[in-house]
A and B are shown apart, each in its own frame.
Chain A
Amino acid sequence: EVQLLESGGGLVQPGGSLRLSCAASGFTFSSYAMSWVRQAPGKGLEWVSAISGSGGTTYYADSVKGRFTISRDNSKNTLYLQMNSLRAEDTALYYCAKRSGSAAAGISYFDYWGQGTLVTVSS
């Protein structure tokens, strides 16, 4: 059974940093691309970042480019999102999502999602 468990969310002041983690199990982690998708309170879904199965290719939404960094440790079956220079508009529930293929920009959909970790940016 595929399981994705996010952690690391919390309350942070504007301009601060936070590192999210997503522990994966139930599949061959290194064989699949992964993504972060966020959902602001009461709003829709927004794709944030993607990484290939090998970790060698990454993509970012314009809204987070230059501030967020996605990475993965395939030996630990764990996905990360380092978030710097946080803004109020980054407040959201952050989901880790498994992609159905291995390439970061490949034609693949999100077939499994974690339960999310809440990030609140406020002074």
Chain B
Amino acid sequence: GDSVTQMEGPVTLSEEAFLTINCTYTATGYPSLFWYVQYPGEGLQLLLKATKADDKGSNKGFEATYRKETTSFHLEKGSVQVSDSAVYFCAPTRGSTLGRLYFGRGTQLTVWP
């Protein structure tokens, strides 16, 4: 079945450090790929998305490229801030499941000043 594997957390970084959170997925067909972020005590917010191979999603300094050949969608940011501390979820979906999202366990990111 469809699934996603994310880098194990927690990830702890100093402010202005480079961030990579790895994500690989297993899905039949041609999934769309999403990164969601969850701040403490809140619901999920869409961070960025990509809908076809080689698309790059970007938002708030975060980027991720849809790599069909390696079934990956790694999240990167060049310089993290304390306010980026949150849990990050990679989630594929595909048309045949009408928007159903498949979440992994998420990656906890803590950024220290």
Partners in one complex: no
Chain B residues within CB distance 8 Å of chain A? none
